[in-house]
Structure 1
Amino acid sequence: MATLGLTDNFVPYISERGSLWQFHFVRSIMAFGILAIVIALGYGSLRANRPLAVIGRSFFQAGAMLIYFGCLSLLPIGVVVAGLFTAPLFVVLISILFQGKSVGAFRWTAVVIGFVGALMVIRPDPAALDPVSFLPIGAGLLYAIGAVATRAWCEGETTMTLTAGFFGMLGVFGLIGIFTVTGDAPEGHAGFVLRNWGPLDVAMVFWFAVQAVGSLIGIALIFRGYLIGEASHVAVFEYSLLVFASFWAWVLWDQTVPVLGLAGMVLIAVAGSIIAFRSSTPVPAGRVPEPNP
């Protein structure tokens, strides 16, 4: 989380001149280059047991990250991360509405607490309602669907396979955007989503590489955490991204979070922690829970 919180704060260096679609396409190529080296050294395989399931799961996870990185050029990173971390709340709702599972009072309370926390972070003003502020919550919904799909569709798949599917789908999204986004883009960060391509000079390649390496390192460490710890307990520590991302945003960009927003982040973290602990189930011997990249 510390690695991701730092590297995600470098996105403004890319969004000022680059393109969201170019970013995901080039970063995915770099990520696959790194994965190819890892496989060549004898660590893991990209073979999927159920390719369609991996593709379906990757679609939702990559869609969440597409929105997430697009929002980083428009909103403070603390707000974007908080929106993404509404995902556990949606996991509960999906479990009830589509999987017929029963949920007790603790998790229902957590959903309400998390919803209130999200409103405190976004602080919607009815007089000047900006739909963009709600996009990170949309990313949280897609991330939640991907999390449910990981458990329901991709049991038995390796973390290497799921990681490759994730970056592969982001690369496809990037390629589609490069050829379909043709509108006139404004200068600066506001044109990040509207550009189809930006300059690919030494500086841009460097920041793309930082993102590719940083994201792979962060994801690998998350995987290791799930490998040696109990899944529901490890998941709670993912909320530290709220702290690391906000800290580096303050150091690098002088972005501050209002007191109300900080309180909202705390509520979201508390809600997610309640859901994680109340959802705790023993992991059978010899099996490792698959995390979400």
Structure 2
Amino acid sequence: MDGSVARPRPMLALIVRLATAAVLATMAMLVKLAGEKGVHLAELVFWRQAITLLCVVVLLAAWGKLASVKTKRFAAHARRAIYGLTGMFFVYGAVMLLPLPEATAISFTAPFFAVMISVILFGEKVGIYRWGAVVLGFAGVLLITQPSFIGGGSDLVDPFGAAVGLVAAFLVALISFQIQDLNTTEAPWSIVFWFVLLTTPIAALALPFVYEPHSGEVWAIIIAMALCGALAQILLTTSLRFGSAAVILLMDYTSLLWATFYGYTVFDQPPGPGLWLGAPLIVGAGVLIAWRERQLARSRPQPVAD
């Protein structure tokens, strides 16, 4: 698979993105399950990256595309690796600290942080629609977390876990800008390859301090988690090759259904009452941002082919 532009196939893109949401939700469930069985967060991050690296190298070699990962932007890949590895610790940490549905719903705030980053770092002008979506989305977060100043007291949502989840969403938004920049010159597989290649040895530094022997069952959970992560990388890349990001990203919200299902069936954690009020606000705000981005894209003058 190279960096060329694929023919748009919107229905295929939607189907692939639905599968992506299911795989990512399954990976989050396995992360939480491994954590409850005593696997350290740092070890999970290492195996996630190491096994993904192995899968990527094998696939690129099988396709004869290893040469396609050559880059002249090593520094940009290194910055993306640092932010990405940090983000993984917060994303996985939120999953371990919070019930799955709440952790998933809070992760949907990434588009709102992206709006704020675009204003602060890039001076982009944001209108009432997108600012309204940001306010609506964070109102949803307040309903889910139920802090004391709005009459909270939920025994399910850990305030520290909620804070970790919000930091994770911010880092996901920040990383999206880095990937967007890399996509202007790099093939998608090159971005994935350099990320896992650079982060795997860094993550390995923690292994002597956190590794403990595991049973066969726990190893099966760890390997399944890492394989889900590798598959998600492939599906994400594929979906973005065949469809508009503003449309297919809406399919990501279906991961909340999977998270609710796993939370109830695997961890015996029914969703808290705040989730039913807050999640629709967050999802609605995300849909509003996606709709507004599509409207703005249509209004921009299109380049004329020569």
TM-score by length of 1: 0.83
What are the residue-to-residue correspondences of 1:72-151 with 2, within 5 Å? 72-125=95-148, 130-151=159-180
Q: What's 1:52 paired with? A: 75
Supply the AA of the counterpart residue of 1:159. Answer: P
The equivalent of 1:42 in structure 2 is 63
When structure 1 is superposed on structure 2, of 100-109 and 2-11 the one drifting more is 2-11
Could you tell me which of 231, 239, 243 is aligned with 2:245?
231
Q: CA deviation at 1:77?
A: 1.3
CA contact (8 A) 2:45 2:88 kept: no
The match for 1:208 among 222, 225, 235 is 222
Q: How has the CA–CA distance of structure 1 residues 261 and 169 changed in structure 2, closer, same or farther, with 3 Å as cutoff?
A: farther
Aligned residue in 2 for 1:8? 28
Instruction: Find the partner of 2:271 among 257, 269, 272.
Output: 257
Q: Number of residues paired by the alignment?
A: 270
Which string of whole-angstrom CA distances, capped at 9 and with x for unpartnered residues, describes residues 228-286 of structure 1?
A: 1112111111122122112222121121112321221111111112112212336989x
Q: Which moved more, 1:105-114 or 1:37-46?
A: 37-46
**What letter is aligned with 1:133?**
A
Contact 1:62 1:167 in 2 (8 A): no
- Does the 8 Å contact 1:57/1:149 carry over to 2? yes
Q: Which position in structure 2 is the counterpart of 1:248?
A: 262
> Matched residues, percent identical?
23
Higher helix share: 2
Find the partner of 1:272 among 276, 282, 286: 286
Distance 1:154 1:52 in 2: 15
Cα distance in structure 2, aligned partners of 1:212 and 1:200: 16
Q: Which residue of 2 aligns with 1:165?
A: 194
Q: CA deviation at 1:88?
A: 0.5
Structure 1 partner of 2:39: 18
- Alpha-carbon contact 2:30-2:222 (below 8 Å) kept: no
1:166-215: CA deviations, max 9, x gaps?
A: 33455345334335x6xxxxxxxxxxxxxx12224433322221012111
Q: Which runs of 5+ in 1 are unaligned?
A: 182-195, 286-293
Distance 1:104 1:48, change over 3 A: same
Q: SS at 2:63's partner residue?
A: coil
User: What letter is aligned with 2:25?
Assistant: G
**1:153-192 superposed matches below 5 A:** 153-178=182-207
Distance change (3 Å), C-alpha of 1:156 and 1:31: same
Aligned partners of 1:271, 1:173: CA distance in 2, in Å? 37
CA shift at 1:119, angstroms? Answer: 1.1
TM-score, structure 2 length as denominator? Answer: 0.80
Letter in 1 for 2:204: L
Q: Deviations for 1:85-133, whole angstroms, at most 9, x for unmatched residues?
A: 2110011011111101101111011000011011111112259883332
123 and 18 in structure 1: CA distance in 2 versus 1, 3 angstrom threshold: same
Shift of 1:154: 4.3
Coordinate RMSD, CA, aligned: 2.4
Distance of 1:74 and 1:141 partners within structure 2:
17
Structure 2 partner of 1:68: 91
Is the CA contact 1:23–1:174 (under 8 Å) kept in the aligned structure 2? no
User: SS at the partner of 2:266?
Assistant: helix
Question: Which residue is equivalent to 1:289?
Answer: none
